[in-house]
Structure 1
Amino acid sequence: MSGRIIADRYELSTLIGQGGMGQVWTGYDQRLDRRVAVKLLRPDRVAGAEAEELRRRFVRECRVTAQVDHPGLVTVHDAGTEGDELYLVMQFVDGADLGDHLAEHTPYPWEWAVSVAAQLCAVLSAVHAVPIVHRDLKPRNIMVRQDGTISVLDLGVASVMDSDTTRLTHTGSPIGSPAYMAPEQAMGGAVGPYTDLYALGIVLYELLSGTVPFDGATVLGVLHRHLYEAPLPLGRLRTGLPDGLEPLVMRLLAKEPQDRPGSAQEVYQALTPLLPARGVPRGTPLDPARPFLRPHAPWPDHPLAPAPRPGRPPAAPGGGEGADVATAVDDVKRLLGEGRITQAVDILGAILPTAARQHGEHSAVVRTLRKQYAATLLDDGQYRRALPELRRLADEYAAEAGTADPRSLQFRYEAAQCLEQLGEPGAALAEYRALLPYFENQYVSTDRDLPLEVRRRIGHLLLALGDRPAAQDTLLRLLHDAEQRYGPAHPLPAEVRRTLHWLGLV
């Protein structure tokens, strides 16, 4: 189904999830050239004769949930129907779902667990104020972003499926996730904010112990345990938890809603003394404690660190070891011709490892692909990702043909532009100054315009660094040479005169 277009706009790319009710795909918004996540639901598999009513309720519910404005909720971009399916187009989240995050960090630090729970409380408090009940809170519906913040998925979807007419599928299974289902939800009773708080307790219990409190071989067996069994005390599964944490989890897991905390805000207040105090985070991605250690701080912590790649890169056309590199290149050319740069970048990034295995890391094919990848990243404004690619290409050409090789110099020049765009004026200035003698040497470069452009950039970087005397000297000399080459009416000398006038020198 890869390549299928939904609503004449959203192109499906990679299947990342599948269940009884539908599928989740990465995709591209062709109109705005951005990554999105697309959920496809099959109401006929859930509601049978009630499918048409479910479609209407789905669209209506999506309109309501789209009005909830909170940074911890994944943004809903679009929703509607496509043939027999319902589609939901959401913001693409770069991170890991909480289930994978837990699996990769066992035992899960209790500070992280508390931080995740507190962020979830903030989201649930905003959602319950609408009022909306999530109904399907679980690790697979919770994303940990690269900066440690939490995003909740699928708000409103479960509420559509969990109506009187759709509570059971045609096989008799309940809609939802049994391991995280509150007793009242399992019995088909009224749900409310207290239902989400029970699910929050299950999630917190799982993070702290590594397992859900109630599991079993059958759905009915799991639901029976929710209704009648007490969870095993956390202290028997893990030591070293702070005082007050286990009692809070046990309150969240109370069988009767009235015995649970009164609101998500109340749970947050109970968690507050356990949250990390402000300090210096470890600087690693996917750290849920970071938003409390360093609130509202920019990410990444180190500006020049390459931006983390998406956790699940899109598959190249054809996929796998046998992916057709030539087909991928043709697709890239087509996408670039259509202005869909973001999608072209992803295809190039995905096909590079396959091309390296097929043709060799240092083959001409791979180098051509890497050059196209770097150029496309640059065109897409992804300067942080383009920078290491450009530096690598520059170093390779310099090693093969010397530091004055025109190809190496061009890649260094583009890398300097990346540094300039990334707000590193000192590093960019040093690189431009190192390049200028090569560009002024007619035996190395035949482009007579490029040295003047580099000098213009040097002058403006000197201004950015506060060195006005050096900027004045550079720009005055540039003005003289630019007027000699282009004449006084040309845009370049005109711009330099305006800058000098601003400095009060002309």
Structure 2
Amino acid sequence: MVIAHRYRLEKPLGRGGMGVVWEALDTSLDRKVAVKGLLYPGMAPVTRAQWVSRARREAQAIARIEHQNVVAVHDVIEDGEQVWIVMELLNSRSLADLLSEQQQLTVPHTARIGLQVLRGLKAVHEAGVVHRDVKPHNILFRPDGRALLMDFGIATFEGAVQVTRTHELIGTAQYLAPELLGPAPDGSRAATAASDLWALGITLYEMVEGRRPFEGLTDLEVLVAVRESPVPPMKYAGPLSPLIEALLRKDPARRPDAAEAEQLLQAVTLDSLALDTAVGPGPGPGPVPGHAAGAGSGTD
């Protein structure tokens, strides 16, 4: 199948809540790309229209951002009721893969990866976008070891079309900020930059401690822990502890913003540079097939 007389779909790479990501050939430039298209078999027309709006919103969200630590969008194509998003192809390892292999990372390694993700997230927020699904599965490493934030399938921004129901939880339970678990006075659960930074705090905790701070046998148990339980004491975070604790404050108004968090992470990175010189995801198996921009879990 060829999209827009240019992109030839070759093989599926992953399936998420929004659709299927394909490896494709850009026949005009003779390069491999990732092409994400919707899945809506058997959907009612109204539901299909909502999904098209959400896909268009994803494309708009990513297209607003240009940063070395954020996935790049090459093209957006609308064909009838279908929306195709053409992105750079990233056959690489994710942070989730790395943690599965190594269980936990050193403080310097965590700080350097965290700093790169934070810089990408800062660019996302400066563009007026809220990612809403920051987690290890949505952080990839380029071959040179640079971390990159991907999968904007549930991102939102000012003026975005509302396609979710009132009181609907959007995101992954273990990384949801407590303010997203109870409706605001207008009935909404507004995601903000602060809720993205909470998710980054959970990710940093998981990287350096080898486990997530809030767990449970069910999503409900996890959500109760997020809202009511204090942050479990950290054994290995060392100089990262103050930042992680600050990012995981229950009150979003008391969390540091991206600029302050960046300063704190950079200080840890510089202080520990002589202790650990690893730059990328570290030694381990080669690239893991099947990872491409937009091929995350797509939790809705």
Query: Fold conserved (TM > 0.5)?
Result: yes
Post-superposition shift, 1:282? 6.3
**Pairing partner for 1:100 from 97, 100, 106:** 97
Q: In the alignment, is residue 211 of structure 1 matched against residue 211 of structure 2?
A: yes
Q: Which is richer in helix?
A: 1
Q: Distance in 2 between matches of 1:45 and 1:214?
A: 37
Q: In the alignment, is residue 246 of structure 1 matched against residue 223 of structure 2?
A: no
Helix, strand or coil at the partner of 1:16: strand
Q: In the alignment, is residue 186 of structure 1 matched against residue 181 of structure 2?
A: yes
Helix, strand or coil at the partner of 1:275: helix
Q: Which amino acid aligns with 1:208?
A: V
Helix, strand or coil at the partner of 1:213: coil
Q: Distance in 2 between matches of 1:41 and 1:78?
A: 15
Change (3 A) 1:203 1:280: closer
Change (3 A) 1:56 1:41: same
Change (3 A) 1:203 1:197: same
Q: Distance in 2 between matches of 1:45 and 1:269?
A: 49
Cα deviations by residue, 1:115-143 (Å, 9 ceiling, x for unpaired)? 11111121122121121111111111111
Tell me which residue corresponds to 1:166: 164
Post-superposition shift, 1:154? 2.1
**Which structure 2 segments of 5+ residues have no match?**
183-187, 292-300
Cα deviations by residue, 1:390-435 (Å, 9 ceiling, x for unpaired)? xxxxxxxxxxxxxxxxxxxxxxxxxxxxxxxxxxxxxxxxxxxxxx
Q: Which amino acid aligns with 2:164?
A: T
Q: In the alignment, is residue 49 of structure 1 matched against residue 51 of structure 2?
A: no
Q: In the alignment, is residue 272 of structure 1 matched against residue 260 of structure 2?
A: no
Q: Distance in 2 between matches of 1:207 and 1:273?
A: 18
Q: Distance in 2 between matches of 1:233 and 1:84?
A: 50
Q: Distance in 2 between matches of 1:101 and 1:140?
A: 10
Count of residue correspondences = 282
Q: Which amino acid aligns with 1:220?
A: L
Post-superposition shift, 1:264? 0.9
Q: Which amino acid aligns with 1:185?
A: L
Q: Distance in 2 between matches of 1:310 and 1:16?
A: 14
Instruction: Check whether the contact 2:154–2:170 (CA below 8 A) recurs between aligned residues.
Output: no
Tell me which residue corresponds to 1:370: none
**Pairing partner for 2:36 from 21, 34, 39:** 39
Change (3 A) 1:13 1:85: same
Post-superposition shift, 1:202? 0.9
Q: Distance in 2 between matches of 1:43 and 1:186?
A: 28
Q: Distance in 2 between matches of 1:111 and 1:133?
A: 27
Tell me which residue corresponds to 2:251: 256
Tell me which residue corresponds to 1:223: 223
Instruction: Check whether the contact 1:134–1:158 (CA below 8 A) recurs between aligned residues.
Output: yes
Tell me which residue corresponds to 2:139: 142
Instruction: Check whether the contact 1:21–1:46 (CA below 8 A) recurs between aligned residues.
Output: no
Change (3 A) 1:18 1:50: closer
Instruction: Check whether the contact 2:134–2:196 (CA below 8 A) recurs between aligned residues.
Output: yes
Q: Which amino acid aligns with 1:247?
A: P
Q: Distance in 2 between matches of 1:123 and 1:166?
A: 26
Q: Distance in 2 between matches of 1:234 and 1:48?
A: 50
Change (3 A) 1:48 1:176: farther
Tell me which residue corresponds to 2:199: 199
After TM superposition, the structure 1 = structure 2 runs for residues 3-402 of structure 1, keeping only pairs within 5 Å, are 4-42=1-39, 49-56=46-53, 58-59=55-56, 62-82=59-79, 85-155=82-152, 157-159=154-156, 164-167=162-165, 174-187=169-182, 188-235=188-235, 239=236, 241-243=237-239, 245-261=240-256, 263-276=257-270, 286-287=281-282, 311-312=288-289
Q: Distance in 2 between matches of 1:313 and 1:183?
A: 32
Q: Which amino acid aligns with 1:248?
A: L
Cα deviations by residue, 1:85-120 (Å, 9 ceiling, x for unpaired)? 533221112431110011122332221111111111
Q: Distance in 2 between matches of 1:173 and 1:8?
A: 38
Change (3 A) 1:133 1:283: closer
Instruction: Check whether the contact 1:10–1:27 (CA below 8 A) recurs between aligned residues.
Output: yes
Q: Distance in 1 between matches of 2:60 and 2:106?
A: 38
Give me the TM-score of the superposition, normalised by structure 2. Answer: 0.80
Tell me which residue corresponds to 1:345: none
Change (3 A) 1:20 1:68: closer
**Which structure 1 segments of 5+ residues have no match?**
289-307, 315-506
Structure of greater relative contact order (alpha carbons < 8 Å, 6+ residues apart): 2
Helix, strand or coil at the partner of 1:100: helix
Instruction: Check whether the contact 1:59–1:80 (CA below 8 A) recurs between aligned residues.
Output: no
After TM superposition, the structure 1 = structure 2 runs for residues 427-438 of structure 1, keeping only pairs within 5 Å, are none
Post-superposition shift, 1:260? 1.0
Post-superposition shift, 1:7? 3.7
Q: Which is richer in strand?
A: 2
Q: Distance in 2 between matches of 1:283 and 1:242?
A: 18
Change (3 A) 1:20 1:47: farther
Post-superposition shift, 1:60? 5.2
Identity over aligned pairs, percent:
35
